[in-house]
Amino acid sequence: MARKLLQVVGAVALVGLIVGSFASLAVVSQRVQLVVQEPAEDGARGPDALALLQADVTLLRTDQVALGEGLGQGFAALQAQAQAALESQRGSERERARELAALRAELEGLRGELRAVQLAARDAAAVVAPSAEPVPLAPAEPAEPAGAAASPDPQPSAPAAGASFLSFKLPSQSFRFDGRQKLVLLPALSRVGFDARSTLHDFSGVTQRLSGALEVDLARPELGPRGEVVVESASLDTGVAGRDEELRSTLDTARFKELRFTWSGFENAQVDSAQRTVRGTARGKLSIRGVARDVALPVRVAVDASQRVSIEGELTIRLSEFGIEAPGKLGVVKVEDELQLWLALRARRAGPVAQEPVAREPVHAR
């Protein structure tokens, strides 16, 4: 009985507990309000990373601006220094240019004095100790550039004293037609040759391998002219290799390497100082294959537009006079004994020389 009673009490208690729980839940649900909201933004939650990053960027920008200003100032200072250095250098260059101009002017003055001394020495030498020795061959000329002007210019003009050409300062080079002067042959502008006749055809032999120098007063060419024209005998070119070989054999160029004309006189001079031309007969010795013969060479001399002296002439010789037998083959092909020698020379004035005496007779003491 008691047991049943306990079971009933237990069930009642359980039901009561459940009912009480629901009742409590109902009461609480009416009295309690749950609110869910964003957390408040206040500094109490610690440092903000975004804000820190923005602050860093701002700081870097400030630094960048400051650095840029600093660099700008530095570059401006460097530019100013460079400008100052450049100005200083230009100033020194101008100073050097002025010094150079002064030195050039001084040099021109010294050259003028030297010319005066040379002329005085020349005049003194002409009076005191005239020389009759042959003109030595000129030293090797620098390769003279070939000029285009072939025809003489009767009135060549010269640059004035101290004239400039392409920034170079040139002395006065007005050509003095009168007065004894030395002329140096220009191989690049000169040619000598011969014209030969044969039973088959006529031909020429030419060469520019020559050298030489002349001394003459063009206004008075009879007064002791002298000089030499030397030709390399093996260089004569006829345009046919076999014929050249035969020519070299005929002239024996292995032994006699040079053909030479030694100038010693001038006759029948026709001088035109206004036109700067001379015609006449040059006399001298012609040496071929070791044999020298006196010859008379009619020549025409002129001063061209480039202040060069052109000398043209020709003469007829006989090979037999020089002990040379005219070459031939089998009696069928035969070169004529008589041939024409010619020259077309151009020379450059190398400076004044001592005047040749008017008379060569010995002076007797009285």
Partner 1 sequence: MRVELASLALALACGGACIAPSVVASSGRAVVAPEAQLDWRPAEVGDIAGLFDSTAIDGPVAGALLRVHYDFADDGSYSGAALVQDGALRAYQTLVGRWSLSAPGRLELGEGVEARAEVAPEHLRLTSEAGSVVLRRIEAP
Contact indicator for 241, 267 with CB cutoff of 8 Å:
no
Q: Is 76 helix (H, G, I), strand (E, B) or coil?
A: helix
**Nearest Cα to 154, choosing from 172, 179, 175?**
175
List phi, psi (to 5°) of 259.
-105, 135
Footprint (CB under 8 A) of partner 1, residues 259-298: none
Q: Minimum CB separation from partner 1 for residue 340, in Å?
A: 9
- Minimum CB distance to partner 1 smaller for 184 or for 251: 184
Q: Min. distance of Cβ 270 from partner 1 in angstroms?
A: 20
Cα–chain-centroid distance for residue 70? 51
Residue 260: both structure tokens together: 């030479």
Q: Which residue has the tokens 């460097």?
A: 78
Q: How many other C-beta atoms lie within 10 A of the C-beta of residue 340? A: 15
Rule CB under 8 A: is residue 241 a binding residue for partner 1? no
State the Cα–Cα distance between residues 320 and 251, nearest whole angstrom: 12
- Measured from the CB atom, the residue of 226 and 346 that comes closer to partner 1 is 346
Residue 166 interacts with partner 1 (CB under 8 A): yes or no = yes
Cβ-based nearer residue to partner 1, 100 or 291: 100
Residues paired with residue 308 on neighbouring β-strands, in sequence order: 348
3-state secondary structure (DSSP) of residue 268: strand
To which H or E segment does residue 164 belong?
strand 163-165
Binding letters toward partner 1, positions 183-222, x by CB under 8 A: -----xxxx-x-x--x-xxxxx-x-x--------------
**Residue 109 near partner 1 by CB under 8 A:** no
Output the smallest distance, CB 55 to partner 1, in A: 53
Dihedrals phi, psi of 274, to nearest 5 degrees: -65, -45
Nearest to partner 1 of 175, 322 (CB atom): 175
Is 351 a binding residue for partner 1 by CB under 8 A? The answer is yes
Pick the stretch among 18-26, 130-138, 144-152, 244-252 that binds partner 1 (CB under 8 A).
144-152
Where do contacts with partner 1 occur on this chain (CB under 8 A)?
111, 114-115, 118, 142, 144-150, 156-159, 163-171, 173, 175, 188-191, 193, 195, 198, 200-204, 206, 208, 238-240, 305-308, 310, 312, 314, 329-333, 342, 344, 346, 348-352
